[in-house]
Amino acid sequence: MKKKSFIIRTMVLVAFIALFIKPMISLAQDDVMTLTREAGYEIDDSFRPKASIIIEAEEGQILWGDNIDTPLSIASITKVMTAYLAFEAIEKGAFTLETLVPVDQTIVDISNIYSLSNNKMVLGVDYSIADILTLMLIPSSNAATVMMSNFISNNDEAAFIDLMNETAQKLGMKNTTYYNSSGATAASFEGHYSPKGYDPDGDNLSTPRDLAILTYHFLKKYPEVLEFTKNPTVTVLPGTEYEETFETYVFSVEGAKYGIKGMDGLKTGSSPSAGFGYIGTAKRNETRLIEVVLGVGSWENQDGEEMRHPIGNALIEKAFKDYDYKQIVDKGDELTLPQQVKVLEPLVGLVEKGNKPEFELEGTQLSLKSNRESVIANRKEKAVPVELVSKKKKEKSEAKSIKKSETKDHDQPQKLESSSFYKLKTIALSLLSFLLFLLFMVLANFIGKKKKPGAKTIFFIGIFALLACLYFMVKAILL
């Protein structure tokens, strides 16, 4: 009977551990829906995104990630790659933003397909490349997108899709496949667009990581794209009888319905297979962030068109709250690492607010130590030159530092204990506490069977060991 009682007590304790730890893990991982509600947005769980990512735009470091390598349908987010190839063609001298492209009958026919997002196209009207880009990126016109891809490829539809896939691979977008230039399946164009050799029902697929990579390179090479996406409303062919004005679908840009500070782009996408998603980017001070949110809600509930933005806003606001990309060390500063060194150039980098940065010194090169993964392959930490401070210089420097510290706190970063080592140590303490808990439980059971005194005392010591285990486990999760 006592054995049965011991087993029951142990099972109850294990259940308690599961119930206690699960919410703590969820909290430590910052559940996306919890963050959204804490940011003040009332939102139903049915709009939970399938995947998301946030990176900083200078070095591509990942600040948030959820299913970042899961291939998903991207719908009109596809147009970002088509726009990237347009800017690349401009860079190569193929045409300029002022180059005029006349509307042909194929484009008119596509513009009249009701099921596709479009603008009004009139046969023979000339649109500048800048106008076509605006139509692609703001009202998400499929007619304008095909117009652009055909112009770049000299009407070789398949060659342009080849170029999209080749460029994706060059950029490191390993899990991306394109079947069309706009995000709508070729079959939905009613015969007016059909790249040879590509499945007409093929759905363009990508991942949050890959789309972050594309956006990273886009903003590095052609930051002027944001001039096309930063405004809540745009007008093409102004002052003519063909003038059209559109409101952005990126409701998070400044001035729009869910506008937040610094948001100046970039592109949304939605379809029956994709649900609702978007790429956004925002800059505050010297920190620019890129976010990708995919698979929000379902096509049956069109509220997803709006709900993707509160989710994205909550994630990017948290990232701005937690991180800064800024100058960390001034020129002329001296650090002990453990040698005394003088920094010859300012060092900038990403720092987590509230934490002192750590440094690495290789020869005469000083860099910021970071354990965060980057979406950019073979990324190297930015380094600045330093010089060793001689003993006499060091003594003078120390005297100056003491005098200076009396009037001003420099908050100079010092090398801290490795966070990964500290986490391993905490996990080890957690496991040790759990083993002690098991040992005391077995011992209490054994003494109880022998009807010797002390069984209850040992049992309660075991409970304390369990509480210690829980403490160290939670501490390890939160590190």
Q: What is the pLDDT of residues 109-126, one digit of tens each?
A: 999 999 999 999 999 999
| CA distance from start to end of the chain | 43
Q: Within a domain: residue 125?
A: yes
**Which pLDDT value is given to residue 15?**
44
Q: What is the token pair recorded at 278?
A: 């978007």
Based on the domain organization, do 272 and 384 belong to the same domain?
A: no
How far apart are alpha carbons 87 and 100 in whole angstroms? 15
10 is in which domain, residue-wise?
A: 1-30+417-479
This prediction's pTM: 0.76
The answer as to whether 198 is a domain residue is yes
Does a structural domain hold residue 38? no
225 domain residue, yes or no: yes
- Residues 310 and 255 both lie in one domain: yes
Rounded CA gap, 48 and 20, in Å? 24
Residues 237 and 302 in one domain: yes
pLDDT of residue 380: 75
Domain limit, last residue, from 378, 405, 432: 405
Contact 45, 33 (CB under 8 A): yes
Distance, in Å, from the CA atom of 466 to the CA atom of 433, rounded to the nearest integer, reads 6
pLDDT at 405: 44
pLDDT, position 437? 85
| 220 and 202 within one domain | yes
> Is the same domain home to 334 and 317?
no
- 317 and 440 in a single domain? The answer is no
Q: Identify whether residues 223 and 363 lie together within a single domain.
A: no
Residue 93, domain member (yes or no):
yes
Question: Domain containing 222 — which CATH number?
Answer: 3.40.710.10
Q: How far apart are CA 207 and CA 176, in angstroms?
A: 7
Task: Please report the pLDDT score of residue 16 as a whole number.
Answer: 45
**The pLDDT of residue 20:** 42
Residues 226, 346 share a domain: no
In this structure, are residues 274 and 32 in contact, taking their beta carbons and an 8 Å threshold?
no
Asked if residue 134 belongs to a domain, the reply is yes
Count of structural domains within the chain = 3
Domain boundary among 323, 356, 383: 323
User: 245 exposed, middle or buried (CB, 10 Å; 0-12, 13-18, 19+)?
Assistant: exposed
129 lies in a domain? Answer: yes
Q: Is 267 annotated as a binding residue?
A: yes
Both 431 and 447 in a single domain?
Answer: yes
Residue ranges of the chain whose pLDDT lies below 50:
1-4, 7-8, 11-12, 14-29, 392, 402, 404-419
CATH of the domain at 351: 2.30.140
Cα(221)–Cα(331) distance, rounded to whole angstroms?
28
Q: Report if residue 98 sits inside a domain.
A: yes
Tokens 């759990």 correspond to 434
Does residue 437 sit in the same domain as residue 342? Answer: no
**302 lies in the same domain as 450:** no
111 and 126 inside one domain: yes
Write out the catalytic residue numbers. Answer: 76, 79, 140
Domain boundary among 370, 405, 440: 405
pLDDT digits (tens, 9 = 90+) for 191-240: 999 999 999 999 999 999 999 999 999 999 999 999 999 999 999 999 99
Predicted pLDDT at 455: 78
